[in-house]
Structure 1
């Protein structure tokens, strides 16, 4: 039977992993479950077009001129959305993996200096991914809002009513993205304290302070 110790989750590095896991799932869920509905027309002639993840679409949504020429509504921000989602998935998987390490083999984590160092470096990479992915997704979200803006579509379509669904979930997705960057970046301090860099520096400070006291003249 596998022995495990959950006391590490009372420490900052363990608590941070729980928060990171939860908020990474929230970022993932709000992105892949978000869709944009554009409704064109009124009365019985209304038609709704739905655009969802990964937000690569091209659709004729209305008649631009009297000769029935359609208006093409298109966007491709799939690379931004997929990078953001990939970062979320990697973060969830890493949180599960490192939580298992903390709970099952924490004695190896604390005794072998390479393990905390690898944890620190991988967390740094994921923090950079969160910043880059959130910035890219914010740019993609801005493009989506511009393309599907009801006033712009209405102006191009002529005298026709256009409704666009709320972007609140998209804004929440972006909020979770930057919040995840903050969580992963903040965690670096707690992980740094587990590395031999910090412990060696602390030991040098202690030795230096002890040496200074021994060399101090007696009065």
Structure 2
């Protein structure tokens, strides 16, 4: 079986390359992120969090030896389900891109002659497009809540007494913002690809024949 690389000069081949690149970028920016909340007390304490973003903190902090202030700071929020859903969508998209690109290059003749393969490709693309839009929406909501719970006004302090809570510094969420944008961009790429794949199916070809016959 000869490799047919000319498919990557066609829209369906080009779209698969773009989808593969953007899928990897989307989940990579999520799993490689490490954030922190820095409590700038007399004895500094840094709370770090990363994928899958199950933020659990129950720590006693020293606000100052002269005041004998040792309150306990608490955070209890779990965003792991949304983060895993988003990353799983990216991994599924990546694996399907690799699989279908092998089909395109090694079995192109069968793809063009077997009506079932284009239909399967079309419906799988619909499925993954739905995965992207739903997981991106869920992850965008989780990220908004993550920013909220890491704000100084939300963090719970126990046993603070007359002491003043120490200032905090929170890491930037810019790379996670990018991951959300990439998620919706992936949905756009997969939804747009449906038109090119539809033209490969018998539905489009029968419609073209019917239109030609009427003329």
**TM-score relative to the length of structure 2:** 0.90
Q: What CA distance in whole angstroms lies between the structure 1 residues aligned with 2:140 and 2:5? A: 37
After superposition, the C-alpha distances for 1:76-135 in whole angstroms (9 at most, x for unaligned) are 111100010000000000000000000000000000111000000000000000000000
Which segments of structure 1 move beyond 6 Å, counting only runs of 4 or more?
64-67, 154-157
Matching residue within 51, 54, 65 for 1:53: 51
Q: What CA distance in whole angstroms lies between the structure 2 residues aligned with 1:40 and 1:6? A: 55
Structure 1 residues 17 and 194: CA distance shift in structure 2, 3 A: same
Q: What residue in structure 2 maps to residue 114 of structure 1?
A: 116
Q: What CA distance in whole angstroms lies between the structure 1 residues aligned with 2:120 and 2:69? A: 64
Displacement after TM superposition at 1:60 (Å): 2.0
1:16 and 2:15 aligned: yes
1:80-159 equivalences in 2 (<5 Å) = 80-153=82-155, 158-159=164-165
1:194 and 2:200 aligned: yes
Displacement after TM superposition at 1:25 (Å): 0.2
Q: What CA distance in whole angstroms lies between the structure 1 residues aligned with 2:152 and 2:9? A: 50
* Aligned 8 A contact 2:132 2:183 in 1: yes
For structure 1, the residue ranges without an aligned partner over 5 or more in a row are 210-219
Q: What residue in structure 1 maps to residue 213 of structure 2?
A: 207
**Which segment drifts farther, 50-59 or 174-183?**
50-59
Q: What CA distance in whole angstroms lies between the structure 1 residues aligned with 2:182 and 2:136? A: 9
Q: What CA distance in whole angstroms lies between the structure 1 residues aligned with 2:94 and 2:200? A: 22
After superposition, the C-alpha distances for 1:135-155 in whole angstroms (9 at most, x for unaligned) are 000111111111111454499
1:37 and 2:42 aligned: no
**TM-score relative to the length of structure 1:** 0.88
What is the root-mean-square deviation of aligned Cα atoms in Å? 2.1
After superposition, the C-alpha distances for 1:31-54 in whole angstroms (9 at most, x for unaligned) are 1011220000246x2111101111
User: How many pairs are equivalent?
Assistant: 207
Q: What CA distance in whole angstroms lies between the structure 2 residues aligned with 1:38 and 1:52? A: 12
Q: What CA distance in whole angstroms lies between the structure 1 residues aligned with 2:131 and 2:86? A: 8
